[in-house]
Amino acid sequence: MFDNDIPIPIRKHPNFRAMSVGESIFFPHDGPIMKCKAYLYAMTVQKHSDVYRFMGRSVTEKRVKGVRVWRTR
């Protein structure tokens, strides 16, 4: 049976372009950094831009494992 009137979910990526140089954002993530979708999206923004540069590291903050992404340029 087919369903009607089911809205398509909106993909919500962090707005890395709104970050200032030196700002960072933490994403809870239990696994390798290369499996973190937010980090990969930051790398995609960087790949398609001459203006934006990001750096990410696996970190543990307040006993929560995750990835922190910084804007470096």
**CB-CB contact of 3 with 46 (8 Å):** no
- E strand or H helix that includes residue 47: helix 37-47
What is the residue extent of each domain of the chain?
22-71
- Count of residues for the chain? 73
The residues, any chain, with a CB within 8 Å of residue 17's CB and separated by 6 or more, are 45, 52
Digitized pLDDT (tens) for each residue of the chain, 73 residues in all: 888 888 887 877 888 999 999 999 999 999 999 999 999 999 999 999 999 999 999 999 999 999 999 999 9
